[in-house]
Amino acid sequence: MRKNLNVIAAYSIMMGLIILVGIFQSWNIALSIFNLCLISAVMTMGANIQWGYAGLINFGIMGYTALGGLAAVIISVDPVQEAWSAGGYNILFSLFLIIGMVLSVRYVLKKYHKSKIRTYIIATIIISGIIIIRFVSEPGIEAIEEINPAKTGFLGGFGLPIVFSWVVGALFAGGLAFVIGKVALGLRADYLAIATLLISEIVIAIIKHEDWLTRGVKNVIGLKRPAPYEVNLQQTDWFINLVEKFNSGKLNLISDLTERQSALNQFVIEGSSVFVKLCYSGLFLVVVIILLILTQKALYSPWGRMMRAIRDNEEAANAMGKNVVKQHLLIFVLGSAIVGIAGAMLVTQDGLFTPGSYRPMRYTFLIWVMVIVGGSGNNFGAILGGFVVWFLWIEAAPIGLYLVNLTTAGLDDTHFLKVHLIESVPYFRFLMMGLGLLLIMRYRPKGILPEKIEIK
Amino acid sequence: MDFLNASILLLNYIFVPALAYGSQLALGAIFVTLIYGILRFANFATGDMMSFGTMFTILFTWYFQSVGIGLGVLPTALLAIPFAVIFMIGYMLLIDKFVFKYYRFNKSPPVQLAMVSIGVMFVTQAVVRIIIGPSDRRFSDGEKFIIKAGEFKEMTGLNEGLAIKSTQVITILVTIILVSTLFWFLNKTKTGKSMRAYSDNEDLALLSGIDPKRIVMITWIIAGILATIGGALYGLDKSFKPFTYFNNMLPIFAAAIVGGIGNPFGAFLGGYVIAFSEILLTYAYKKFFMYVLPESMEPDGLIQLLSTDYKFAVSFSILVIVLLYRPSGIFKGKVL
């Protein structure tokens, strides 16, 4: 108990802050911050597995997040039958062609020794494959995109409940990570960072511009929800009764019947959105707790010890007979898969998929700030980092506004400096993140909750 | 005649823009490579440092414009650049003193320095946005074109026009002057040679009496010059927007690695490799083939290898291929 005191203290302060937001701003804001904190926590757990356990630097978090989001679309949207009949065969055929291409490249790689001729053969296979696939898929893609472009214009998905996509998102992200890991894990740390950053940009470019699959920048809106809809809730009896019970104290003060009814209506509308957010919080909390248990178990298992040994001294671990390459690949895939879950959760919560909103600042660098600030190598630290940084990211604008008002109190309201500063309040969040990261890296390089290894 | 038309077409839409864009990338890539070679970390704040320098250029340009000082046909920004460079160097040295020096003294691993540079990136980005705002700004004035498409058509009687913007010519000229001075400095002067020695083998360089503090300072000064001029030229040619500059970091990194990171000449050529491949692969060649091929063989489609949406993806794919087959870059990296 005593050795975990700082963890408990840090988490209680964090919860207290969120509750303060609930009291002073609104419970709606507090809950939406909390939900995104939970999603960020999942992302940081993924990044923490890679960086904290194994010392692998992965700047491609944005790409996996987007793939998770894509999974949510593909799983939950109803299939567009017309599009399937118009271009489905072309797309499926191209898919087979891609698989055939990959298999033949693998065959060549296995069959022949490394030589110039082999490289040329592989290049020929890939280039001719791409040309053939373009010829096959082009008419299909055009046909699909022509079908009701204002509403669909894409293949749609499988029409399953969206919660399945959390698993599928993990599979997608893990699959991509497997390919990237095969290719890039041999690189040195900073090369790996740049390579993963650029590959994630390629992923985003594809998601943004392959309209037949994702609707691209036209966005997919109105995804199915795992939680009830506010509108439906507002008309269910049990929910209205519940709200009435909750607010009975306030309602009893109002004597006029019609006024009381309108007050109740107001409470029901507010309560419904809080209730929906609570549903999401519950779902997300389950995911976070399951992942936390699994990652904690892994950290203290022989496998976790081996990962730390590899992180701390690769050559020594290799000499002891540990397969460094294989373990790196494994942990790269696992961490990315967790990020993929977070991506699917994010889209589930928003109910829409907007490929244009995936930007490295928000989805890669911010997550890294969370991991570093929270404490890499320590799962509780990483989760705390997700909470703290996301909380500051959202509350930076109000805090910044307060600071600006404080420092420029002596100036006239129309003074150009004050107006300019108030206009630029949204950018104080970048300043805060940067300064926070620099200060933490300088004075507490292991993060708020540093890694500690217990030998049992 | 058709052949002439076709080559003018390529010149107009591919060669000139790619040369200008490549020069801008090349300056950024040399900046990245210098920092990597001498200070030994991947600087993720590259794009934002460039936007910081450009911001100063714009502020000075506005000041000069308001006072009424100009360069006539040339953009006022050219006059503002030297002043901006001074401020930028000050900023660079300040950052080094307060942020990077500590980690250099502690011999932190490169990854930690890269993380720190992310912190610098956040701060710089915030400062730029707070001072000048996130919106798109054009600050190019003076004569816009050297040759206008219409005039060219009249002059030569060809169907295709050739338009050359003055900013493109300025970009290319400034790059040539700057880069050749830099190479002269690195290869001929004593300081430059000691910089190369330091980059090549730090311990040996220290043993032979090279002052590391001086080397680091000069590196930041050169980096400041390159960042400001590179950023200002990009802003003159296109427009200044902090977000685009942040994104430009990616092709700049690609250029530096493709050329062999730590190798300034490689970075210089890498910039052009990236720029040309981006534009060559995403250009629609329909018109070109209409000129070259006989009428019966005229193409139906756009004859575009990749849609322009994938412009960025092209440079990254080149990078991935280079990393796979020649991790040290086209020109052997890590020798300054």
* Tens digits of residue pLDDT in B140-187: 887 788 888 788 888 877 777 788 888 999 999 999 999 999 999 999
Least confident of A381-395, B97-111, B273-287: B273-287
| Record: contact A183-B324, CB cut-off 8 A | yes
CA–CA dist A105, A118 (Å, integer): 10
Query: What local confidence, expressed as pLDDT, does residue A1 receive?
Result: 54
Q: Which residues of chain B does A442 touch, with a Cβ-Cβ cutoff of 8 Å?
A: 102
Query: What local confidence, expressed as pLDDT, does residue A437 receive?
Result: 92
| Paired residues of B304 in beta bridges | B284
The residue type found at B286 is K
CA–CA dist B80, B53 (Å, integer): 11
Domain B2-325 -> CATH class:
mainly alpha
CA–CA dist A98, A101 (Å, integer): 5
**How far is CA A36 from each of CA A63, A133, A340, A342, rounded to the nearest angstrom?**
18, 40, 15, 10
A190 min Cα distance to partner chain B (Å): 6
Q: What angle do CA B39, B40, B43 make, to 5 degrees?
A: 85
| Record: contact B253-A198, CB cut-off 8 A | yes
What would the mean pLDDT of A402-415 be, rounded to a whole number? 82
Q: Looking at chain B, which residue has its C-alpha nearest residue A371?
A: B115
Query: What local confidence, expressed as pLDDT, does residue B178 receive?
Result: 95
Q: Which of A400, A412, A346 is nearest to A40 (CA)?
A: A346
A155 interface with B at CB cutoff 8 Å: no
CA–CA dist A148, A154 (Å, integer): 9
Query: What local confidence, expressed as pLDDT, does residue A246 receive?
Result: 81
Query: What local confidence, expressed as pLDDT, does residue A26 receive?
Result: 86
For B230, the enclosing helix (H) or strand (E) is: helix B212-237
| Paired residues of B165 in beta bridges | B145
What would the mean pLDDT of A1-27 be, rounded to a whole number? 86
Contact B77, B64 (CB under 8 A): no
Contact A157, A73 (CB under 8 A): yes
For B36, the enclosing helix (H) or strand (E) is: none
Q: Which of B54, B59, B52, B58 is nearest to B120 (CA)?
A: B52
Average pLDDT, chain B: 87
B250 min Cα distance to partner chain A (Å): 7
- At A17, the pLDDT band (50, 70, 90 cuts) reads very high
Q: Structure tokens of A297?
A: 């178990």
CA–CA dist B257, B272 (Å, integer): 13
| Record: contact A191-B257, CB cut-off 8 A | yes
Out of B118, B254, B310, whose CB is closest to A198?
Answer: B254
Widest pairwise Cα distance in chain A: 90
Out of A199, A208, A428, whose CB is closest to B309?
Answer: A208
Q: Which residues of chain A does B312 touch, with a Cβ-Cβ cutoff of 8 Å?
A: 201-202, 205
| Record: contact B118-A368, CB cut-off 8 A | yes
CA–CA dist A195, A395 (Å, integer): 33
Residue B136 pLDDT more than 60?
yes
Out of A190, A195, A427, whose CB is closest to B320?
Answer: A195
DSSP letters, A351-362, are S-B-GGG--HII
Q: Structure tokens of B107?
A: 């011999």
For B104, counting Cβ atoms within 10 Å of its Cβ (0-12 exposed, 13-18 middle, 19+ buried), the class is middle
- Residue-wise pLDDT for A113-172, tens only, equals 878 888 888 888 888 888 888 888 888 888 888 877 777 778 878 888 888 999 999 999
Residue A353 phi/psi, 5-degree rounding, is -120, 110
Query: What local confidence, expressed as pLDDT, does residue A190 receive?
Result: 80
Residue A445 pLDDT more than 90?
no
A260 interface with B at CB cutoff 8 Å: no
Top residue of B96, B118, B317 to mutate, by most chain A CBs within 10 Å, is B118
Out of A201, A424, A434, whose CB is closest to B120?
Answer: A434
Query: What local confidence, expressed as pLDDT, does residue A236 receive?
Result: 82
Q: Which residues of chain A does B124 touch, with a Cβ-Cβ cutoff of 8 Å?
A: 434
A216 min Cα distance to partner chain B (Å): 11
A424 min Cα distance to partner chain B (Å): 5
CA–CA dist A385, A22 (Å, integer): 20
Task: Establish, for the pair of chains A and B, how many residue pairs have beta carbons separated by less than 8 Å.
Answer: 120
Q: Provide CB contacts within 8 A for A380, sequence distance 6+.
A: A7, A11, A449
> Which residues does B contribute to its contact with A (CB < 8 Å)?
41-42, 44, 99, 102, 109-112, 114-116, 118-127, 129-130, 133-134, 246, 250, 253-254, 257, 261, 307, 309-310, 312-313, 316-317, 319-320, 323-324, 327
CA–CA dist B198, B211 (Å, integer): 9
**Other Cβ atoms closer than 10 A to A402:** 11
B78 min Cα distance to partner chain A (Å): 28
Q: Structure tokens of B158?
A: 């060809």
ipTM attached to this prediction: 0.89
Sign of the dihedral defined by the CA atoms of residues A215, A42, A200, A367, in that order:
positive
**Other Cβ atoms closer than 10 A to A2:** 6
**Cα within 13 Å of Cα(A350), Cβ side:** 18
What would the mean pLDDT of B321-334 be, rounded to a whole number? 72
| Record: contact B323-A187, CB cut-off 8 A | yes
| Record: contact B42-A194, CB cut-off 8 A | yes
- Residue-wise pLDDT for B215-268, tens only, equals 999 999 999 999 999 999 999 988 999 999 998 898 999 999 888 888 888 899
- At B336, the pLDDT band (50, 70, 90 cuts) reads very low
Q: Structure tokens of A328?
A: 């790196």
What would the mean pLDDT of A425-441 be, rounded to a whole number? 91
| Paired residues of B164 in beta bridges | B147
CA–CA dist A332, A185 (Å, integer): 9
| Record: contact A434-B114, CB cut-off 8 A | no
A221 interface with B at CB cutoff 8 Å: no
- Residue-wise pLDDT for B27-65, tens only, equals 999 999 999 989 888 999 999 999 999 999 999 999 999
What would the mean pLDDT of A270-291 be, rounded to a whole number? 92
Radius of gyration in angstroms for the set of CA atoms belonging to chain B, rounded to a whole number: 21
| Paired residues of A353 in beta bridges | A220
CA–CA dist A366, B89 (Å, integer): 28
Helix/strand/coil for B316: helix
Out of B110, B119, B307, whose CB is closest to A209?
Answer: B307
DSSP state at residue B331 = T
Residue A220 phi/psi, 5-degree rounding, is -110, 120
Q: Structure tokens of A362?
A: 């928000």
A120 interface with B at CB cutoff 8 Å: no
A365 interface with B at CB cutoff 8 Å: yes
Per cent of chain A over pLDDT 70 is 98
A361 interface with B at CB cutoff 8 Å: yes
Contact A56, A192 (CB under 8 A): yes
Q: Which residues of chain A does B48 touch, with a Cβ-Cβ cutoff of 8 Å?
A: none
**Other Cβ atoms closer than 10 A to A324:** 16
DSSP letters, A34-93, are HHHHHHHHHHHHHHHIIIIIT------HHHHHHHHHHHHHHHHSPP-HHHHHHHHHHHHH
Q: Which of B142, B124, B24, B135 is nearest to B80 (CA)?
A: B142
Contact A388, A453 (CB under 8 A): no
| Record: contact B313-A201, CB cut-off 8 A | yes
Q: Which of A171, A63, A429 is nearest to B134 (CA)?
A: A429
A213 interface with B at CB cutoff 8 Å: no
DSSP letters, A259-322, are HHHHHHHHHHHHHHHHHHHHHHHHHHHHHHHHHHHHHHHHHTSHHHHHHHHHHH-HHHHHHTT-
Query: What local confidence, expressed as pLDDT, does residue A400 receive?
Result: 87
Sorted by where each begins, the domain ranges of chain B are 2-325
Q: Looking at chain A, which residue has its C-alpha nearest residue B125?
A: A430
The residue behind tokens 């060549």 is: A108
